[in-house]
Structure 1
Amino acid sequence: MKTDLNSSSHLFRFQMHFPLKKYLPFVSVVLVVLVGLLPVYFGSVISKNKQETEVLASQLSETNDQLASVSATLTHVTSEDQFVKNKELEEEIKNIQTAFNQSLQSYEDILSLREKQAKVTDLEGQFSEILDYLAKRNYASASATLTGLQNDISALESELAAAVVVPESAPVSNSAPAAGGYNQQAVETEIGKFLVDILAADLNSTRVIVETASSSDCADNCPVDSLASYVAKSGGFAGINGPYFCPAEYPSCAGKSNSFDTLLMNKNKYYFNSDNNVYSSVPAVIFNGSSARFVGASSEWGRDTSVDAVIAAQPMLLSGGNITFGGDGDPKKGSRGSRSFIGTRGSSVYIGVVRGATVAEVSYVLKALGLEFALNLDSGGSTAFYVNGRYVAGPGRNTPFGIVLVRK
């Protein structure tokens, strides 16, 4: 953030040292007026003496030449010297923005690793060096150190992923639990074995609702609460964390901390972010009585308040039993960690967490379990899964919402 402030001060000083562009329009107007007044003045004199007229005409010509020369000089100064200076300033601002954005991403990656209980002391030391380089405007060294830091972050993420081992004690089963049941089980897929915590509930006897900390739209510094609190408020028996939001501890979330921008209807029938999602392509699930409907885009759904819950989240993992997400190049979705989901098959709803998986790998796991439809939820430090009075994953950070299962 200090980098941005410094760039603004440089720009201000630059403008103070090079004011010609600012005053050029005024100078030009004055010169034009002078040129226009000269003939008027000299015209009265011309009528008196022809000889004087010739002299004055010559003087007028010389004056016009001088004015043209001054104008050309001013144009040269403003169009050449100022242009060069502006290009230099533009390049510096570009370097600042690039380094700042890369640093921001690296810092948030370190936060994510810390949430996974990884040792990040060395990474934090490198990040401190980067800040020192930026303070000295040594962008080349900052960039080189950033590259090394990103490589070390990737290596540590791979190390953590390799350390996720399915316990020998975990029963291997590709069958989802029966309605009302909760299991921790190993699931065999065509791309490997994964540990899964999963709960099933019958929608004929269970309602899916959304608890929110805020009663209406919130853009910044939004209230948050724990998943256990959300479950307790509704008298539920289980809950899972909701979709993505902007955590307050992330620098990129400054000015929009703990906010979210996807469509969501809570238990009080309030539609969050309604106006912002008229044309949204974010998938959503609508729970109503004993059924659930998944849509490929929030824009396909109106604002019916007779339903129990509306949750927009991304990406869609399964549709009609088919995998709909195989990866999109996003490094966050492509890194392995604990991934939360919500899905259905027939009149059963499933919530749970797949351990040590990418978002795309979760699709394979849920397909192997026989689910028909599923949405990806938030993950990492937001992961929380609460069943019958205890956390089986998490508790994770406090969030602006929670998905809760309540008995009818």
Structure 2
Amino acid sequence: MTPLGGDGGAGSPATGWPRYNRIAMQPADYVGPGQVAWFQFTIQAPATAGYYRLYLRPLIEGATWLEDFGVFWLVTVLNADGSRPAPPQTGLGYSYQSVSTVRGTFNVHLIKERLLAVTVKTLTANTTDCSNNCPAKPLDQYASENGAYAGMNGTYLCPPDYAQCAGKVNSYDYAVYNSNLRRWINYNALNAQNGGLFFNGASTSAYRRTFVYFQNQTPINAAITNFPLLVLNGSVIDSTSEQNGSQMLKGTKGAIGVDGTYVYLAIVTNATVTDSAFVMQALGARDALNLDGGGTAAMWIGGSYKVGPGRLLPNAIVLTKP
């Protein structure tokens, strides 16, 4: 039995790997081309609950060319009572990481910043409600026009490359508060269908049905609605019965989340909308809203795209710093 993570002692002189960071195997019979060999082993979990990466690769002393081959799993070590440990802390700024959830492990492009250190702005290319041939621009233009540090795409839109969008190109059926104009675009879309995330400085609020905000409005300086709300008060919202076919297909999904301290901009790969909800919960978001993905997905930070640029956008979210 080998302890996960090693003991810090000296190990292989050829590779420099610490002792017990590798699983020692007795010499095995020769495995030829097309043949299969089975190996079994037991790993002792660390004493501290948390999230650990288990990396398996073949290693033969002196055969350094093998070191580039292997596979890894994200291993969750539960608390003594069987509960899951607190989500791992991620660094600020941009990261690309694998996130373990009850629905599997997903790769995520993530921008995470302290709410007190940035200003969240929700922006629209149109200054009034628009139903066809609406103005749209690339994400980096939204960023440059606002002196932004980072940003990502916004709501679902009707793109010009969809035949069913003839007569409503670049329109969107969701309410977005234009932070620069200080007014709502598509105000009447604050309704019983769409969810929303609302910002007043570093204070945030979320609604599964935005007509609740419509009835009891509070001051805001940024807000965006879309469907569905993914997470509310730390719990995943199961909206599967209300989702359309594309939302239930694996693909690239966007999301924005908050937890009272941080704002999360995320693009999840090879996921359904419900998968994305569990990813946002695992990242630590208390509230999270689904955003557009697929060919619209775009994420920009520090002068370059991490995802995209994707399609031209009629609305977007940016983060500015003092």
TM-score, length-normalised on structure 2? 0.70
8 A contact 1:314–1:376 mirrored in 2: yes
Shift of 1:374: 0.4
8 A contact 1:225–1:399 mirrored in 2: yes
8 A contact 1:207–1:308 mirrored in 2: no
8 A contact 1:170–1:184 mirrored in 2: no
Structure 1 residue ranges (4+ consecutive) displaced by more than 4 angstroms after TM superposition = 167-174, 303-306
* Pair member with larger Rg: 1
1:315 equivalent to 2:232? Answer no
Residue among 311, 314, 320 paired with 1:400:
314
Q: How does 1:339-354 map to 2 (within 5 A)?
A: 339-354=253-268
Q: Secondary structure at the match of 1:301?
A: helix
Looking at both structures, which has the greater relative contact order when contacts are Cα pairs under 8 Å and sequence separation is at least 6? 2
Residue among 280, 289, 293 paired with 1:366:
280
Q: Secondary structure at the match of 1:184?
A: strand
Residues 120-179 of structure 1 show CA distances to partners (whole Å, capped at 9, x for unaligned) of: xxxxxxxxxxxxxxxxxxxxxxxxxxxxxxxxxxxxxxxxxxxxxxx969998952524x
Residue among 251, 254, 258 paired with 2:166:
254
Q: How does 1:9-408 map to 2 (within 5 A)?
A: 175-178=88-91, 180-267=92-179, 268-274=181-187, 276-277=188-189, 279-302=191-214, 306-325=219-238, 327-328=240-241, 330-408=244-322
8 A contact 1:313–1:375 mirrored in 2: yes
Superposed CA RMSD in Å reads 2.3
Residues 292-329 of structure 1 show CA distances to partners (whole Å, capped at 9, x for unaligned) of: 11012121224969421110111111111111035235
8 A contact 1:183–1:198 mirrored in 2: yes
Shift of 1:221: 0.5
Where does structure 2 lack aligned partners over 5 or more consecutive residues?
1-69, 77-86
Find the counterpart in structure 2 of residue 147 from structure 1: none
Shift of 1:347: 2.3
Q: Secondary structure at the match of 1:231?
A: helix
Instruction: Report the structure, 1 or 2, having the larger helix content.
Output: 1
8 A contact 1:170–1:185 mirrored in 2: no
**Residues 305, 370 of structure 1: alpha-carbon distance in 2 compared, 3 angstrom cutoff:** closer
Q: Take 2:260 and 2:300, find their aligned partners in 1: how far apart are those partners?
A: 23
Q: Take 2:110 and 2:297, find their aligned partners in 1: how far apart are those partners?
A: 14
Q: Take 2:145 and 2:204, find their aligned partners in 1: how far apart are those partners?
A: 23
Where does structure 1 lack aligned partners over 5 or more consecutive residues?
1-166
8 A contact 2:107–2:268 mirrored in 1: yes
Counterpart AA for 1:378 = D
Counterpart AA for 2:234 = G
Q: Take 1:247 and 1:395, find their aligned partners in 2: how far apart are those partners?
A: 14
**Residues 176, 249 of structure 1: alpha-carbon distance in 2 compared, 3 angstrom cutoff:** farther
Q: Take 1:172 and 1:183, find their aligned partners in 2: how far apart are those partners?
A: 20
**Residues 221, 197 of structure 1: alpha-carbon distance in 2 compared, 3 angstrom cutoff:** same
